[in-house]
Amino acid sequence: MLYLVTPYFCLPISFLFYIPDPEISNWAREKILHKRLGKTEKFRSCPERSPNYPKKYELAIQLLEDFIKEFPDFTVHSILADALYGHRPFFFCVKTLFPKSQLISQLRSNQNVLFRNRKMTVSEYFETHNGWQHKIIVRAGKEINVIAGGARLFVKAHNKKLFIVALKYEGEDTYWYLIAEDLSWNMKDVMQEYTLRWLIEVFFEDWSGYCGFCSLAKLRRYDGSARPLILSLLFDHCFLLHPAQKSFIENGKPLATLGSLINHAQYEALNLFISGIVYHENPQEYWVSIEKKIRALFCVLRPSSKHMNGRTDVFCKKRPENIHKDAA
């Protein structure tokens, strides 16, 4: 998913679903079974990936290419990605598309770097180059303390020098290793910028808690995932047009949460419903007519398929006492 962060609001703008290559998936299962059976002969090599099933980073590149086509005049300050996209092919493609933008991702602790012509892992380097305390601002303007240190090192996997920041939050024992493409940034700016990546996780939380139409999906596979997600995104976007939310945007104030907006809309609907009854010319008769419609819609008792009543097979025609005898 491509998530847009602006000074005024954050917005999910596009998405693609990753579908594993079925031939590679079958090969992986067969290889695991081959090992479990203890066979000594070499297993066949992995089949080539079909172009119909691109990798995850290729889908991310496609999302960025589509974004450029749709919004050619949009200025992109930085691009943030998690550790899954912290490898050379993704970095190369992104810098080709956005040469003036900063790209920040994560590096594994066992990645090799060069320091004074000595090869070592990034974790080994920062064991001898400890960080120091910093303060950074996270969501809602909260200021937190972190331990961090940085260095511009040659990363073997990327075949170039990158800005590496070792970051550890309060209560954590291990470091996170951030990598930045643009070496002109300072360490605190890199740390501060990467805090924005967590906003997409907040969206996922809102989406599952308040827009979870997937629980009502009746379709399977791609359509069963894509259509509920499209409906969820439209639902989320519509609340940016809520009068209260528009007022916050126009006045440069913090926006309301999606959950509070939904509660507000539910209150407005309930208040309008009750007011229509109270202020009607004949409230009692009006309520009786509405109550019949509500009962017909919500109070229909449906027969259960998990019980045996109503079955016509031979087993269900037996008397209860005979059933117990047969079971005995």
Residue pLDDT tens, the chain, 328 long: 888 888 877 888 888 888 899 999 999 999 899 888 888 788 888 899 999 999 999 999 999 999 999 998 889 999 999 999 999 999 999 999 999 999 999 999 999 999 988 999 999 999 988 889 999 988 767 888 999 999 999 999 999 999 999 999 888 888 999 999 999 999 999 999 999 998 888 887 777 777 765 555 556 677 777 777 787 778 778 888 888 888 888 888 878 888 888 888 889 999 999 999 999 999 898 898 888 888 888 888 877 767 666 666 655 555 555 545 544 4
Residue 310, pLDDT score: 63
Domain coordinates of the chain in residue numbers?
Answer: 206-298
What b/e readout covers 69-87, taking b as 16+ CB neighbours within 10 angstroms? eeeeeeebebbbbeeebbb
φ and ψ at residue 299, rounded to 5 degrees: -110, 30
Residue 193, pLDDT score: 92
Residue 57, pLDDT score: 93
Instruction: Please give the Cα distance from 13 to 203 (Å, whole number).
Output: 12
Is-above-0.85 flag for pTM? no
Residue 140, pLDDT score: 65
Residue 179, pLDDT score: 95
Residue 213, pLDDT score: 59
